Chain A
Amino acid sequence: MTAVYFITLACLVIAGYFIAAQRAKSLRAAPGAAFHSLPTYHGMLAAVSLFVPMVLVFAIGTPIVKHLATSSVFSFFPPEVANDPLQRGVVLRDVGNILDGRHQGEPSATLRSAATSFAHVLSTGRLIVLGAGVALGIASLLLVLSRISATFRARNLFERFVIAALVLCALVAILTTIGIVFSVVWETYRFFFDPTLKGRPTVTDFLFGTEWNPQAALRADQGDIKTAYGFIPLLTGTLLITFIAILVAGPLGLFSAIYLSEYATPRFRAWAKPILEILAGIPTVVLGFFAALTVAPLIRGWGESFGLDIASESALAAGLVMGMMIIPFISSLSDDVINAVPQSLRDGAYALGATKSETIKKVVLPAALPGIVSAFMLAISRAIGETMIVVMAAGLAANLTLNPLDAVTTITVQIKTILVGDQEFDSAKTLAAFALGFVLFFVTLVLNIIAQQIVRRYREQYD
């Protein structure tokens, strides 16, 4: 039925477009007619004037029909059934099974008549919705058709529709963001302050605790609950790995950007830059097993040859590979900002007798610095939010350590560990993931704001 509705809708919209466009065209052909809008705009306006009411009728009508059909089912049953969610569900499932012909055994007479009534109300209701939709659509089409004339501002009206559609799209993105933030904030609030939640930590315990062990808090009589949700080891783990990653990607990315933008021949640059950018396209899960299966054993092997005891899952391995992952962010963005430094500044420096490297160090890089810093910020937020590489290469042990050769864990890894598998959403353990998510969100948000501030200043730099 839904398919029928939308096929009708599509046919009507296309037909409406051509009727209106044709009508406008024939009126326009009349001598002396100075038409305000092109026939296409009249057609488009007719099409949206059909489309919008029909979609609205469907969106409003369908749930109403469904509701009416359901209540018709319960008119055959005593009110207790309708009011008990469990029995209600059973009845509706039975009705559905009867209609699909999958009901086990012989259904009762009440159930059968309820099913017949349900089907009847549903099909009648849907026909009415279809009829109402088509009627309203055609009415609004006729309204548009009747107004087609030389002075009718179809273009302006249609463009207003376009703006409305654009606003709608923007709103969806904005509302989703707000929704996510609210859900995270709300669950975080529950984690800390919901009195029904057992084993929840205080904010201070969470922010300053040095032991992370959410498993211990499954039951109130298990483990040392007070220290189970200490967030510090995760933070140090995250920062340690991010630091190693930046240590790798910072110099490599920046220097390759300088080479590409200042020294490389255009031909070399033309193929080297895309290859660097491909690195950004490698799925992190692939990088993750590269880290776990190739890099980590390699580091362990080297460590052994130097007499060092390195865990097979180490912060170093994860950090190194994550560094590789974020190189393209730094190199590509830095390359862009270095290229954006006007040639006139370079000429000015050359004309003063500066060498190429003096020009780069003292003129080009300082001018590009804000942009470079923001490239670093974006790379850091990527590194902080990265999960797969760390899951595979750094381990799950929440060690409070700054030794890069130890196994560490990060905020993202713990969120993933907590939420993988079946979870009940009223345990402190599960809600801890939201608290972690909130902290992560907060950190990356702050970094992004800093980056944006710097970019804004950068824009005012030269001109």
Chain B
Amino acid sequence: MKMDMTTQGIQAAQPYVAAKSSTASKVVARGVNVHYGEKHALKDVSVDVPDQAVMAFIGPSGCGKSTFLRCINRMNDTIPICRVTGKIEIDSKDIYDPSLDVVQLRARVGMVFQKPNPFPKSIYENVAYGPRIHGLAKSKTDLDEIVQTSLEKAGLFKEVKDRLNDSGTGLSGGQQQRLCIARAIAVSPDVILMDEPCSALDPIATAKIEELIDELRSNFCIIIVTHSMQQAARVSQRTAFFHLGILVEEGETETIFTNPRDERTRDYITGRFG
């Protein structure tokens, strides 16, 4: 078994050529390599992410899926030893172009993290933070409206409308995560990256977030990294399977889960490793 996997690893080291999808691709990656110091964390990844859909990245721990996610809004820039090569385009614009302002990129590519990380400010201020720093609201009324719509879209408004001035850290874990989603939505990004957004939540809060992701799909391009294959199957339209820094297989979620082409994908989704 171990022998088998090694040989397959060599085969799959060939660049994976993404299938041309019918809908317009929002994010296009070609030959992306990431090194953390000496470690080659991501090997030659190429993938197309469609707009107005949810794409799931699955794979065992340390397979590079989160690393790749963090390349899409250049969060890896904050890690000094990290080096990214290759090309990632959003709406056909290279995001690693030196003339591009990373701050503006991140305004267009929102991110939700594994552990809810609301700022230790009021609920209102949490959501208003992004619009404020980007000058999106012309007046107080404008800002109020942005905050309200964002909270509504994140399905949190009803629960918190009477306590917008309470601290965001006082909410429950699931509410905090929805607050973080509202915060990300508030700057009206094109793409939302979610890095295991439910891994710190209980099943009920998870179900709410998943429902929310499904609703948000119509307006955003969503990429979600998840450890839960059921979650990937439930919320995503396309799925990419990563293993040992390599993108092994990518396609329609249904195909990946019912009829994977690669044996490693099959082993992983049937729970034989990972």
- Residues of A at under 8 Å CB distance from B? 342, 344-355, 358, 362-363, 366-367, 461-463
Contacts of A351 in B (CB 8 A): 73, 75, 106, 110-111, 113, 184, 193
B169 pairs with A353, CB closer than 8 A: no
Does chain A have a CB within 8 A of B243?
no
Interface pairs (29), CB distance under 8 Å = A344-B117, A347-B113, A347-B117, A348-B118, A351-B110, A352-B106, A352-B130, A352-B133, A352-B183, A353-B103, A353-B104, A353-B106, A353-B107, A353-B108, A353-B130, A353-B133, A353-B134, A353-B187, A354-B103, A354-B129, A354-B130, A358-B133, A362-B129, A363-B119, A366-B120, A366-B121, A367-B119, A462-B169, A463-B169
* CA distance in complex: A346, B119 (Å): 9
B78 pairs with A347, CB closer than 8 A: yes
* CA distance in complex: A337, B192 (Å): 31
A352 pairs with B78, CB closer than 8 A: no
Does chain A have a CB within 8 A of B180?
yes
Among A352, A353, A462, the residue within 8 A (CB) of B120 is A462
Q: Do A348 and B78 form a contact, CB below 8 Å, given A354-B103, A362-B129, A463-B169?
A: no
B199, chain A: closest CB distance, angstroms: 13
B104 pairs with A352, CB closer than 8 A: no
Contacts of A353 in B (CB 8 A): 103-108, 130, 133-134, 187
A352 pairs with B129, CB closer than 8 A: yes
Among B107, B120, B130, the residue within 8 A (CB) of A461 is B120
List 9 additional contacts besides A352-B106, A353-B107, A362-B133; criterion CB under 8 Å.
A344-B113, A348-B183, A351-B75, A351-B193, A352-B129, A352-B183, A358-B133, A366-B119, A463-B169
Contacts of B133 in A (CB 8 A): 352-355, 358, 362
B103 pairs with A348, CB closer than 8 A: no
Does chain A have a CB within 8 A of B115?
yes
* CA distance in complex: A350, B76 (Å): 11
B79, chain A: closest CB distance, angstroms: 10
* CA distance in complex: A348, B129 (Å): 11
B268, chain A: closest CB distance, angstroms: 28
A281, chain B: closest CB distance, angstroms: 32
Give the B interface residue count (CB, 8 A).
Answer: 28
B180 pairs with A348, CB closer than 8 A: yes
Contacts of B187 in A (CB 8 A): 352-353
Q: How many A-B residue pairs have CB under 8 A?
A: 73
Contacts of A345 in B (CB 8 A): 117, 119-120
Nearest first, the 10 A-B pairs at minimum CB distance are: A353-B107, A351-B111, A344-B117, A353-B106, A352-B130, A348-B117, A462-B120, A461-B120, A353-B103, A367-B120
* CA distance in complex: A109, B105 (Å): 106
* CA distance in complex: A389, B130 (Å): 48
* CA distance in complex: A342, B130 (Å): 19
Among A342, A350, A358, the residue within 8 A (CB) of B75 is A350
* CA distance in complex: A352, B183 (Å): 8
Nearest A residue to B110 via CB reads A351
The CB with the most chain A CB atoms within 10 A, among B105, B118, B120, is that of B120
A340, chain B: closest CB distance, angstroms: 12
* CA distance in complex: A346, B78 (Å): 10
The CB with the most chain B CB atoms within 10 A, among A349, A367, A463, is that of A349
B170, chain A: closest CB distance, angstroms: 10
Nearest B residue to A341 via CB reads B120
Nearest A residue to B121 via CB reads A366
Contacts of A344 in B (CB 8 A): 113, 115, 117
Contacts of A363 in B (CB 8 A): 119, 129
Per-residue 0/1 for B163-202: is the Cβ within 8 Å of any A Cβ (1 yes, 0 no)? Answer: 0000001000000000010011001000001000000000
Per-residue 0/1 for B56-93: is the Cβ within 8 Å of any A Cβ (1 yes, 0 no)? Answer: 00000000000000000101001000000000000000
Contacts of B184 in A (CB 8 A): 351-352
A342 pairs with B117, CB closer than 8 A: yes
Nearest B residue to A361 via CB reads B133
A348 pairs with B73, CB closer than 8 A: no
A284, chain B: closest CB distance, angstroms: 37
* CA distance in complex: A67, B255 (Å): 100
Contacts of A461 in B (CB 8 A): 120, 169
Nearest B residue to A348 via CB reads B117
Contacts of B104 in A (CB 8 A): 353
A263, chain B: closest CB distance, angstroms: 12
* CA distance in complex: A304, B184 (Å): 59
A286, chain B: closest CB distance, angstroms: 39
Contacts of B78 in A (CB 8 A): 346-347, 350
Contacts of A367 in B (CB 8 A): 119-120
B103 pairs with A355, CB closer than 8 A: yes
* CA distance in complex: A358, B119 (Å): 13
* CA distance in complex: A355, B104 (Å): 10
* CA distance in complex: A339, B193 (Å): 26
A37, chain B: closest CB distance, angstroms: 44
Contacts of B130 in A (CB 8 A): 352-354
* CA distance in complex: A351, B185 (Å): 12
Nearest A residue to B114 via CB reads A344
B186, chain A: closest CB distance, angstroms: 8
* CA distance in complex: A41, B140 (Å): 71
Contacts of B180 in A (CB 8 A): 348
Among B115, B119, B169, the residue within 8 A (CB) of A349 is B119
Among B107, B108, B119, B193, the residue within 8 A (CB) of A348 is B119
A344, chain B: closest CB distance, angstroms: 4
